[in-house]
Chain A
Amino acid sequence: MKKTWLIALLTVMTISMVACGNSGSKDASQENGSTAGTKTEKVKLSIWHNYTGDDLRAQTMRATLEQFQKDNPDIQLDIQGIPPDGYRARLKTVAAANEMPDLFVMWPGIMTKEFDGGGLLQPINELLDSKPEWKEGFLPNSFSDFTIDGNTYAVPMAMSPTSILYYNKKMFSENNVEPPKTWDDMMHLVETFNKAKITPIALGNKAAWLAQSSILSSLGDRVTGTEWFLKAIAGEGAKFTDPEFVQALAYLKQLSDAKAFQDGFNSIDNTQMEQMFAQGKAAMMIDGGWALTNLAANASPEAMADMGATVLPTVPGGKGDPDSLSGVVGTGLGLSKNVDGARRDAAFKLIYTMASPEVQKKTLEGNQLVSYKVELDTSKVSPIFAEVYKLLGTVHTTPVYDGRLSSAVADVMNNGLQELLMGGNPENIAKKIQDAQDKELAASK
């Protein structure tokens, strides 16, 4: 018995000695660190980004941050990468708690508007005006969704067309068909592929925003025209219950009634849908520009060589411009109101670096579209990327529904579209959307 006690005592003593030894050395190293810091008076900046993926674009952005840290020893970055799926929710949560990081990846449109409304942002006009050449380098209207009352809050580091009709050239030629030009062509294609036992259009609508952002935003614009939508969101002389919007919903329903999508499209996600298309299990998919980076990272070169891209077909009597697709400028770095003095200068430097012409070029070569005028070296990107890049030069962009609608209305629309695709009634769904919109308008008055 005595012996066990002795051993126990010895063990405790040894452990505590080891532990003490460790903490001692830690203290020493910390001291060293802090003395080095006081010499140069480091500027500290925190930044949140969602470039955690394995795709080329995320790699480029992470490398840029690392390089910036190396080139600027006097600035200390506190970098937090958050996986894209949870990024928005986390950012909104810290915004609610008023604990925003100094710089953060931010979406144009409704998010910028909400953050500005909460008094969380500061404009970067000064930075833009100090570099006129850089400012001129952006594509027209690049800043409009980041600008409120003349204050620009961010510059886009990418561009996101949301509604591209991707098709499999090999399957099309095997079945002797052409990409659809009109709605009748589209319905005819659906019929042809169904007869050939091929899924006409791959769809992964589990997260519910896809049918809205990628299909309806552009299809709706074809039917109603952009002006109608802008009036509807402002609540000035147009409503979602108007016959033209109900007609747009009816077109979408027509697709699902004709079995254009594979079974169970409401239970698979966007990535699985892209895989289906890449593996040649579907003849078409309607997806955004983000598919290009994913495809470049995951699809085989042969599969990508067979892919083509075009815009959605025209509809009979549609009021919208047929040479258009829905899209938004990409995310930019927002700057918190609490950053000032030397930290503000450092933040400006980082904002510029992350969106500088060189990084925009690298981003573009990483198969990610940008809102900046850059010559594309087609040998460096996938063939389908080059094709989409060319396509974008010939069309203009129209608004994406959930980029302009409030979160509450967008949620009702997303769920309504899932219901519609399961056989719901277009008029009832249009009414639900308008009810939510009425409530939103009443609350904002």
Chain B
Amino acid sequence: MTTSARVKGFIVAGILPALILYLFFVVVPVFWSAYYGFFDWKGIGAAKFIGLANYAEVVKDPIFWKGFKNNMLIVAASVFGQVPIAMILALLLTKSGLFQRLIRASVFMPMVLSSVVVGIIWSYIYHPQIGVLNFLLDSAGLENLKRAWLSEPSISMYAIMIPIIWNYIGPYMIIFIAALQNIPSEINDAAQIDGVGASRKLFTITLPMIWDTIKVVIVLCISGSLKAFDLIYVMTGGGPAHTTEVLASYMYNSTFNVYRFGYGSAISTAIIILSLLLILGSQYLMKRDYR
């Protein structure tokens, strides 16, 4: 009794500082910003209470929904691009030879670079006149495939997804490798003795064993994609004419370029609500248990 109470006391004492920080810097501002959403405020001068007008405008704003659509495209690209690629790489690179370590390091490298650096590198790869990509197409004799990658509305969003996928594979790969290494070796040995083929082993042993990790990675992927901002901000700023706008960049532009602080707050609240819905939805979809 006394020991368990003491353990509980330790747990509380250990969690409390983090909890307080989290409350003050994450939870409170969320509600604060929802509250600012009720005002018409230019940043300077008095704020005017306008009730739900900002929220009503968000719902009717075509650019907001365009941003949402672009966010969904990034979510799709992450879940169906990043996760499988990270998984395949993890399966290939579980062993720790020199070669594997080299490849692992190079896949993880973009994570270490600042997003601004990544954005600028890819802006130059895609540069319409002096870009590496157009140059390669030129020298491969594929001139008719040359594009202004970041400013042609029909392809710019897809052009942006590639660096986003490339940039964030690393951490997911590491998470998968850790999960794979946690599968008890007895199970693998038993499977080997029973003569299980490689693909059968993958689908009946390996994947079910790390299914919980996959779920976590997918949630991380969705929330990460909804926060997508830095690369887009550096590469296109959401332009041209809102074609690569995502929710976060639209929120930033509304707040800090147009100086509609109230409207920007309303957008961020809408982003939180949409994100929660998506995460809940994905959790529900993945509920079926493979074990």
Contact = CB atoms under 8 A, between A and B. Distances in A.
A, B bound: yes
B255 to A, nearest CB: 10
A340 interface: no
Q: Is the interface of A mostly helix, strand, loop or mixed?
A: helix
A418 interface: yes
Interface stretch (B39-47, B86-94, B266-274, B280-288): B39-47
B117 interface: no
Interface stretch (B101-109, B209-217, B237-245): B237-245
A422 B44 contact: no
B151 interface: yes
Nearest to A423: B153
A408 B151 CA distance: 23
B129 interface: yes
Interface string A254-270: 00000000111111100
Given A262-B128, A407-B258, A407-B259, A267 B43 contact: no
Contacts, number: 94
B236 interface: yes
Interface size class of A (residues with CB under 8 A): 35 or more
Q: Which of B149, B253, B258, B261: most chain A Cβ within 10 A?
A: B258
A266 B258 contact: no
Contact of A115 (B44, B149, B253, B257): B44
B236 A267 contact: yes
Nearest to A421: B240
Q: Is the interface of B mostly helix, strand, loop or mixed?
A: loop
Contacts of A117: 44-45
Given A206-B236, A267-B148, A422-B241, A114 B258 contact: no
B148 A264 contact: yes
Q: Which of A118, A206, A208, A266: most chain B Cβ within 10 A?
A: A266
Interface of B: 40, 42-45, 123, 126-129, 148-153, 156, 236-237, 239-242, 253, 256-261
Contacts of B253: 411
B240 A276 contact: no
A267 B126 contact: yes
Contacts of A415: 239-242
A53 interface: no
A50 B243 CA distance: 31
A268 B123 CA distance: 9
B232 to A, nearest CB: 12
Interface stretch (A88-96, A130-138, A184-192, A295-303): A88-96
Q: Which of A92, A115, A424: most chain B Cβ within 10 A?
A: A92
Contact of B241 (A96, A407, A424): A424
20 contacts: A92-B256, A95-B44, A96-B43, A96-B261, A114-B42, A115-B44, A206-B236, A206-B240, A264-B127, A267-B127, A267-B128, A276-B129, A281-B129, A408-B259, A408-B260, A415-B241, A418-B240, A418-B241, A422-B240, A422-B241
